[in-house]
Structure 1
Amino acid sequence: MAVTVTDEPGDVVDPSEVSSPRSWRRAFADLAQGWRQRPLWGYLGWQDIKQRYRRSVLGPLWISISMGVIALGLGILYSALFQISLATFLPHVAVGLLIWNFVSGCILEGSEVFIANEGLIKFLPAPLSLHIYRLVWRQTLFFLHNLVVWVVLMIVFPHPLGLSTLLAIPAFVLLAINGAWVAILAGILATRFRDIPPIIASVTQLVFYLTPIVWSVDILSDNPAARERAQLVELNPVFHFVEIVRQPLLGQEIVGRYWLVTGVITIVGWAAALICLRNYRSRVAYWV
């Protein structure tokens, strides 16, 4: 008579897979079980924000205030340096920072997502993906708070927004999906090799300056001597993710190749993350 055993609560696994912790079924089951626990990681993500601003009068509103102050300072400074209209450049910088904060949050916090949850991983039988979903949800809440800055700027500096603005929704969903696989890869690697987090932090800082957040590609494109160099920015994968969200939010022309590049990166990135999750998921509890 065939016998089945459970690998995780609610998961039935074939006996032939029990002997080997490396299983595609277990990897996909981890992602599925984590997704089914949405009430848990949704609550935990919201509590993370509330705890950070505990006993603060303005509470999470400080998220938007701090981001708005930084965007205003950088916008005024660089618009003067580049001699660009503040009405044009300030929204460019603010929306760029809005997207960058989400990207850098997934990368930096993703590199320590399992290390920071050492106690939960060791003593609570929960899928690893729960911590990934919690991280991405927390960064999404930060993004939504900061979106207030964009609303204010669109009132002060009106842009030609239309139905294309709605493309920002699927663009952000795609961004969040990529944030998840980045957190899985960075989290597992950093748990095994503790030198990885500071390396990732240094590289992320470099990527910020290489990505047109506080500068614009149009500045290089308008300069005949630097026009060819402007094309090199497309070698930066973060650039494409920033643009697919920023273009609809600013009412700019939608460039299809940015969506194509991000789609390819999504497929390749998730393939690498699934391989990593399959091979090393069972070792994370020992590495932390």
Structure 2
Amino acid sequence: MSASAIETEATGGPLPTSDSQTFRRAFKDLRDGFAQRELWLSLGWQDIKQRYRRSVIGPFWITIATGVQAAAMGILYSALLDIPLDEFLPYVTVGLIVWNLISASILEGSEVFIANEGLIKQLPSALSVHVYRLVWRQLLLFAHNLVIYVVMLFAFGVWRHLTWMSLAAIPAIALIVVNAAWVSIMFGIFSTRYRDIAPILGSMTLLLFVLTPIMWTTQSLEAQGGQAAERVKLAELNPLFHYLDIVRAPMIGQDQQAYHWYIVLTITVVGWAAAILALRKYRARVPYWV
């Protein structure tokens, strides 16, 4: 008699199987986490208040720091690349604002569960609560930095270049937020098991910052011709370039190619598929790994 038959005879029926590693539980975690939005909305806001506790202007220090950095980089590279300041500074500023959102989602996302070790072990909540909390916090910081963009709209006359197509920046930002969620889930899970992933991502993000057209433009390379123009194709291999372009181009009134959207949408689908697989298989192990 087989072991399964013995178990069936002894218990009067087949033994129940654990569903901790099923897609149903993975999707349930995402739904339950979103349903607890009062929790992660409050925690995300408290994160910012705690970081700038006893500060006079609070989170607007982020706005000041970003504005100073954008101004310094814009003035310097405008002279080096021989591009008019009123054209280049908005390009750099918006690029830096969007990059801060992208890079923070990668870097903080890789440690999202490690940083919340205490809550994960003590608070009975869905694992995705911590991901939603991180994404919400980054969205709040992004909103603070948008103050710089509003000032720049009028200071440099960027508003004259805006059209109805500039509204495409809204779904583009939403798409980046959706991607920030799967990045945090996937890298966050694997970083709890393999602690080398977080510093590796830190080094890669720094490298991608240099390779992403933030302080330089693809148009300036194309204008040089020869090998410099060929290097523009290398920039196309950088996935973060496409994420940056779908937001920056409409915000400063530049023309945009549709293929940037196709690439981002493809990565979004593939990324979420990988994140759900990781959540399905390793969700129950995260509390032990942290």
Shift of 1:20: 4.1
Q: Secondary structure at the match of 2:253?
A: coil
Pairing of 1:177-188 with structure 2 (within 5 A): 177-188=178-189
Q: Which residue of 2 aligns with 1:243?
A: 245
Contact 2:19 2:25 in 1 (8 A): no
Pairing of 1:31-42 with structure 2 (within 5 A): 31-42=30-41
Q: Distance in 2 between matches of 1:240 and 1:17?
A: 47
Pairing of 1:1-288 with structure 2 (within 5 A): 18-159=17-158, 160-225=161-226, 226-288=228-290
Q: Distance in 2 between matches of 1:158 and 1:37?
A: 43
Q: Distance in 1 between matches of 2:136 and 2:20?
A: 28
Contact 2:74 2:92 in 1 (8 A): yes
CA deviation vs aligned residue, 1:146-170 (integer Å, no higher than 9, x gap) = 0011111111111211211211110
TM-score, normalised on structure 2? 0.92
TM-score, normalised on structure 1? 0.93
Contact 1:17 1:23 in 2 (8 A): no
Shift of 1:254: 2.5
Q: Distance in 2 between matches of 1:71 and 1:236?
A: 22
CA deviation vs aligned residue, 1:177-210 (integer Å, no higher than 9, x gap) = 0011111111011100111111110111001001
Q: Residue type of the partner of 2:116?
A: N
Shift of 1:18: 5.0
Q: Distance in 2 between matches of 1:276 and 1:204?
A: 22
Q: Distance in 2 between matches of 1:268 and 1:234?
A: 18
Q: Which residue of 2 aligns with 1:8?
A: none
Q: Distance in 1 between matches of 2:24 and 2:56?
A: 48
CA deviation vs aligned residue, 1:115-169 (integer Å, no higher than 9, x gap) = 0000010111111100000000100001110001111111111121121121111
Q: Distance in 2 between matches of 1:192 and 1:161?
A: 47
Q: Distance in 1 between matches of 2:22 and 2:108?
A: 27
Consecutive unaligned residues of structure 2, counting only runs of 5 or more, are: 1-13
Q: Secondary structure at the match of 2:184?
A: helix
Q: Percent identity?
A: 57
Q: Residue type of the partner of 2:276?
A: L
Q: Residue type of the partner of 1:285?
A: P
How has the CA–CA distance of structure 1 residues 26 and 81 changed in structure 2, closer, same or farther, with 3 Å as cutoff?
same
Q: Distance in 1 between matches of 2:248 and 2:24?
A: 37
Q: Distance in 1 between matches of 2:18 and 2:224?
A: 63
Q: Distance in 2 between matches of 1:175 and 1:40?
A: 23
Shift of 1:17: 7.2
How has the CA–CA distance of structure 1 residues 16 and 26 changed in structure 2, closer, same or farther, with 3 Å as cutoff?
farther
Contact 1:30 1:127 in 2 (8 A): yes
Consecutive unaligned residues of structure 1, counting only runs of 5 or more, are: 1-14
Q: Distance in 1 between matches of 2:20 and 2:185?
A: 18
